[in-house]
Amino acid sequence: RCLSDWSSDVCSSDLILGAGCSAKYGYPLAADFLGALKRYFQELENRSNCERLKQCVTNTIALLGKYGTPTIDRLARRIEEERRKHYSSPMDAVKSKALDQAALDKIREAKIATVALFLEAEKQARSMDLSGYQNLLNIIFEGDRDPKVLESSSCRILNFNYDRLFEMAFTDYFSLDSNSNYYGKIWLNSGLDFQIGRAHV
């Protein structure tokens, strides 16, 4: 569902944001994630001093094709499944440790490739007005930009997107400065607190 479809009936709802919310800002849907990664690699080929990133993108493209998975979360799941299969037969500790490390390396590379792709898209998205996200926030908070409105809102939002557009729109909506702890309990309440360098569970 696109953000432009939301109406005023969302104010007392629990909302889950998916990739469709960011599609019009240049981010790929799951079905086009592999294609977007391939196009990103073509751009990287003309750049210097990013060999490590090129390798991560190349390896991730190959694994997505091999397993037929559309996104990295499903890819990570397949890598874990493959790793667990090896434990069904006896093996020595050294081989077991090597398989574990290989699986972790593949997942790490997929994360690096994805973060780089989405940070690249963020440049273009940031130049847009993010009106869809802004409209959603305007509906939820009824146009009130006083931070105290967070205490009385009955709406809760879970964002499963790889991108940061909701967070960017949120900080713009409340005019937060660059020193604000956006992800802390007072604001986005994401369980992360970068000011003290750890996550809260």
Residue 49 structure tokens? 């001093």
Q: What does 48-88 look like in DSSP terms, one character per residue?
A: SS-HHHHHHHHHHHHHHHHHT-SSHHHHHHHHHHHHHHGGG
Q: How far apart are CA 108 and CA 86, in angstroms?
A: 20
Q: Is residue 187 a contact partner of residue 170, using CB atoms and an 8 Å limit? A: yes
- Give the model's confidence band at 89: pLDDT under 50 very low, under 70 low, under 90 confident, else very high: low
Q: How far apart are CA 166 and CA 190, in angstroms?
A: 12
| Phi/psi at 38 (5° precision) | -65, -40
| Exposure b/e, 76-95, CB count within 10 A at least 16 = b | bebbeeebeeeeeeeeeeee
Instruction: Classify residue 124 by burial, with Cβ atoms within 10 Å: 0-12, 13-18, 19+.
Output: exposed
pLDDT score recorded for residue 136 = 92
Specify the higher pLDDT residue, 186 or 140. Answer: 140
Q: How far apart are CA 114 and CA 60, in angstroms?
A: 9
Q: What is the DSSP pairing of strand 198-199 with strand 156-159?
A: unpaired
pLDDT score recorded for residue 194 = 62
Residue 200 structure tokens? 């809260």
pLDDT score recorded for residue 201 = 41
**What's the whole-number mean pLDDT along residues 23-41?**
94
Whole-model pTM: value is 0.80
